Structure 1
Amino acid sequence: MRSDLPAPTGGTPHTVLMCPGQGAYLPGALRHLSDVPSVAKVLRTVDGHRAALGGTGTPVGRLLTDAGAPGPEPLVLADPLAFDLATYAAVVACATVLLDLAPSPVHAVLGHSVGDLAALTVAGALTLGQGVRLLHVRDRLLRDAALPAAGLLATDLTAEAAADLLRAEDLPQVRIAARNAPHQTVLAGPDDQLATVRRTARALGRRATPLTSRTAYHHPLLTGVHQAFRRLLRAQPVAPPALTVYTAAAAGPARTAAQLRTVAAAHLTEPVAFHRTLRAMRLAGFTTYLDSGPRALLSTLAKAGLPGCTTAAPSRTPVGVDRIRRRLTAVTGTGSGARPLHNGTGP
């Protein structure tokens, strides 16, 4: 992305809360926030709905409050649904705390990949219960699809260099899944072909790192799953969001119920152009970008793509309420004008 992006003219600078996807799960990520009412309610609600739907295995609450819980790789192999639910719950829980503590208003949410479901929940378009049910349905569709072994590979290539490499190696089944930053492109495809890309990239002195993922999201391999998921989404009620909803799969905001349902399914087959969305949001007046995950995933990408803007990851671990408040104050440069912590997102 160009580094000479012009500042928006007129209007009030806006803040966006960014909701990450795949990489947001960390064992025990919420252990220092588990007594916060809104966090406790998110974990209790997610586990309650999971149990009502017949879910088994390690409760999400333990995965996110016990530092000794399984790490991302063993968890996605042993219980991919638990991995998905823990990722979703961690982002929603962190977001509720940030919304409560932010000294200045948050105007929008931005989802990245499966983080779109968390963004829709944080905005109030979907409830926590709906989010859990949708992840259960998606889990069943993915299992029933009997997909080939496939995944995601993060590289430090530009999108153009990645496309050139794929053509040179004749790997038509590998696709660009995400254009995250000027020099971060994620590829999706069958495992054997991604292994070829990895060897070639490393031989050229470039980084190529497999991502923890149960399949090749943002890839045509999931077209059948996407179509079935979209059909089921038609029956889902969608509330008018309290915050404007953006997705990294599109440049503009989602406003209608149909657009919001499209956002919920986009991560299955639609490629991500995070840099394009950031550029559009910058032009729309967004100047502060807060990462709502327990790591600094999206804030790092935003910093690379938006020179001169304010980026931060206030809930990156290890973190408690006081540290989040200090980090937010440092970002906004204002005193402690935070609202009292409330009871969190509705069930």
Structure 2
Amino acid sequence: MCPGQGAYLPGALRHLRYVPAVAEVLTTVDTHAPAHGSLRVPVGRLLTEEDAPAPEELLRSDPLGFDLATYAAVVASATVLLGLTRHRVDAVLGHSVGDLAALTVAGAVTVRQGVQLLRIRDRLLRTAALPAAGILATDTTAGQAADLIRACGTPQVRIAARNAPAQVVLAGPDAQLAHVRRALEDSGHRVTPLTSRTAFHHPLLDEVHRSFRSLLRAQPLARPVLPVHTTAGRWATTPAHLRTTAAAHLTEPMELHRTLLTLRRAGFTTFIDSGPRALLSGLVRAGLPGCATAAPLRTPVAADRILRRLNAVAPPRRPGPGPW
């Protein structure tokens, strides 16, 4: 599983900087990234130095650097896990902008292409006339969130993700989102603002989505070596599906919980979180009790410790035939 927002952790790969696969990813990203942002910190340094800027600081001063570091962290982490695991990996799943990392891990796009696509997306976001907007996570059900949005009279706040039975992400313009946040907190709910440059998974980004999809048509795609599943609940089996997946995080709501249930019915019982922290493995535990999960890079550690964490996961049962 390839996480998106929240996967950047300063120095996350500091114990792996000399692993050839990690060094190759970081070098490729820095080679093809522009000299951008006021910090001008190479992605390699962001992910290998413990005193690198915190997520909020990096996003504020260098949004593209934040995006590239998030992408590189997940791709490099997944590459390490694929090299270490003693079990066959049957599929890859992206979450939000983690879909682009998932496509890279699956072999549909190269790291260089991933950097180019993030640069294109950054330009589109910077030139669009977008209002100040963001996203926040709540401990409500989807029904509770919808009722509260109506009661608050905040029609531009939308459900951006249904991650677990009681974990919903909301997105919208800052003023309306703040109103909903106050109402949630007054009702005793937990609310966590997420580090994000705008309201992803929201119609505010319709124009950016159309432009990005148009530019994606010119991108050559390879046949994935791993099946790609999306949080829209389907396999991405054609070039058109893969391009749709790369742009989905801009406007499409995520249905992670429904997707996990679909995968479970297909026979998948073991889910490995390939990002720093343990963002997605926690959601799997909340929504699929009884399945095996692991987040081997939840804290920065060397390859031997990652291997021990992987080996602690129960051997998976074989899923049914994939889409190939």
- Aligned-partner residue type, residue 240 of structure 2: A
Match in the other structure for 2:272: 290
SS for the counterpart of 2:6 is: helix
How far the C-alpha of 1:208 sits from its partner, in A, is 1.1
Gaps of 5+ in 1: 1-17, 335-347
Percent of aligned pairs with the same amino acid: 70
Matches for 1:23-34 after TM superposition, within 5 Å: 23-34=6-17
Matches for 1:151-162 after TM superposition, within 5 Å: 151-162=134-145
Deviations 1:234-283 (A, max 9, x none): 000111000000121x1111000000000000000000010011011111
Deviations 1:289-341 (A, max 9, x none): 0000011000000011111110110111121101110011110359xxxxxxx
Match in the other structure for 2:238: 256
Matched, 1:132 2:115: yes
Match in the other structure for 1:321: 303
Matches for 1:83-94 after TM superposition, within 5 Å: 83-94=66-77
Deviations 1:112-136 (A, max 9, x none): 0000000000000000010000000
Match in the other structure for 1:114: 97
Structure-2 separation of matches of 1:65 and 1:47 = 13
How far the C-alpha of 1:55 sits from its partner, in A, is 4.1
Q: Is the 8 A contact 1:104 1:332 kept in 2?
A: no
Q: Is the 8 A contact 1:198 1:209 kept in 2?
A: no
How far the C-alpha of 1:94 sits from its partner, in A, is 0.3
- The one of 181, 184, 189 aligned to 2:167: 184
Matched, 1:148 2:131: yes
How far the C-alpha of 1:284 sits from its partner, in A, is 1.1
Match in the other structure for 1:15: none
Q: Is the 8 A contact 1:103 1:332 kept in 2?
A: no
Deviations 1:165-216 (A, max 9, x none): 0011111000000000011000000011111111100100001111000000
Which of 1 and 2 has higher RCO (CA within 8 Å, sep 6+)? 1
How far the C-alpha of 1:146 sits from its partner, in A, is 2.5
Structure-2 separation of matches of 1:253 and 1:306 = 20
- The one of 294, 317, 320 aligned to 1:312: 294
Q: CA RMSD in A?
A: 1.0
Match in the other structure for 1:22: 5
How far the C-alpha of 1:101 sits from its partner, in A, is 0.4
SS for the counterpart of 2:16 is: coil
Matches for 1:1-347 after TM superposition, within 5 Å: 18-51=1-34, 55=36, 57-248=40-231, 250-332=232-314
Number of aligned pairs? 314
Structure-2 separation of matches of 1:144 and 1:168 = 34
Structure-1 separation of matches of 2:266 and 2:233 = 11
